[in-house]
Amino acid sequence: MFVRVEKVQQVSLPRVVVRVHSPVGTAVSRWHGDLGQADGQHHVEWTVDEDLDWGQNIQLSALAQAWLGQDGAQVILRGRIDISEPDIAVLEVAGSLIMFGLVTPLPEGIAGAWVEIRVAAASVSLYPFRL
C-alpha cells in the first residue's frame, strides 16, 4: 500500500511511532524503517503481532468497504478475509494483504466476507520497501 507517514510524539509504544495516512483512513503504528525517512510517502508492508479470535477481535462488518481507523489504543482494519491455511487468515485492505494467525478456526463460509478487526496499536508495524 502506498501511504504517507509522519512521526508522532511517542506515547506508550516502543520504537518510532508514525501516523499513517492511507487511501482508506488513518491510524498510528510502529515504524520499522530508517528513522530519518519516517516522514514522507512510502510503499509499506503491514504486520500485526496479534492472532485473531472470532467474536473477540474479529467480527463481520455491516459495511462492505475497506477502512483503517483508530479507537484509543486500538487500530481498526476493515477488509475481506480469506483463509490460506487452517491456522492462517489473510485480510485484504485496499489491495494490501495482512496475514494473521488464528486462535480458533474462523466460522464456516467466512472466506470472502467483509470483517472488522480490532488490534492493539502496539501490535501493528509498518515496514517500508522500494518497488
Only one residue has cell 491456522, namely 87
Answer yes or no: is pLDDT of 69 > 50.
yes
Neighbours of 79 (CB within 10 A): 24
Average pLDDT of span 102-125: 95
Secondary structure (3-state) at 22: strand
As a whole number, the mean pLDDT across the chain is 89
**What count of Cα atoms within 13 Å lies in the side-chain half-sphere of residue 2?**
3
- The string of pLDDT tens digits covering residues 12-64 is 545 688 899 999 999 999 989 887 778 888 899 999 999 999 999 999 999 99
Higher pLDDT, 88 or 35: 88
What's the confidence (pLDDT) of residue 13? 47
Closest CA to 44 of 124, 127, 125, 100: 127
Q: How confident is the model over 61-71, as a mean pLDDT?
A: 97
- Rounded (10°) CA dihedral 30, 32, 38, 42: -100
Question: First-to-last CA distance in the chain?
Answer: 11
Q: Would you state the pLDDT for residue 130? A: 81
The pLDDT, as a whole number, for residue 10 is 55
Q: Which residue has the higher pLDDT, 10 or 119?
A: 119
Buried b or exposed e, range 27-39, using 16+ CB within 10 angstroms = bbbbbbbeeeebe
| CA separation for the pair 123, 51 (Å, rounded) | 10
